[in-house]
Amino acid sequence: MQIRTLLASSAMLALLAGCAAAPSDDRVAAPAMDDGEVAYQGTLPCRNCGPGGGIDLDVRLMGDEQSALAERTFTLRASYREHPQNPEDENYAGNWEVLSGTAVDPDATVYELTPHDDGQVYYFLRLDGTTLELIDPQRRRFENNEMLRLQRL
């Protein structure tokens, strides 16, 4: 199962369950990008993966919020653990944009990652200087949002 199918399924489940959560009020300034790259990693739930499985996600953002769009690039790698079909890693590259506001917090910062190919667009809410959270395309948080977080390396 590809990550975009998993994410679409997660979004549908969240919508059906009415899962928008309250905003976080503990945001801090955007992280400085020491060498032009900031890396985030985490493990997303995987419904078809075995016990201890999941989707290991590695997101690397190059450039900073003040850079021109062409200079703000990203790579995203998804690796499945304990999946019965042992799918290959998925790799995406593209540009990222900074969006202001979510469905419930007009001051929130959201990163929109758009792959160069026909891959899915990803949305990450910046919770603080070290944490991103996967959110839906309408910029709403999922009920199980703690399981959808990536930590800065």
Q: Residue 59's beta-bridge partner residues?
A: 40, 76
Going by C-alpha positions, the residue among 102, 113, 95, 106 that lies closest to residue 138 is 102
Q: In the predicted model, is pLDDT for residue 121 greater than 60?
A: yes
> Mind listing the domains of the chain with CATH numbers?
3-152 (2.40.128.300)
What's the token pair of residue 7?
A: 């994410």
pTM for the full model?
0.78
What's the token pair of residue 6?
A: 């998993």
pLDDT bucket at 118, cuts 50 / 70 / 90: confident
Q: In the predicted model, is pLDDT for residue 81 greater than 50?
A: yes
For 16, phi then psi, to 5°, come to -65, -30
**What are the tens digits of pLDDT across the range 4-17?**
544 444 433 333 33
**Considering only 8-22, 44-58, 107-121, which range has the smallest mean pLDDT?**
8-22
**Mean pLDDT of the region 110-122:** 94
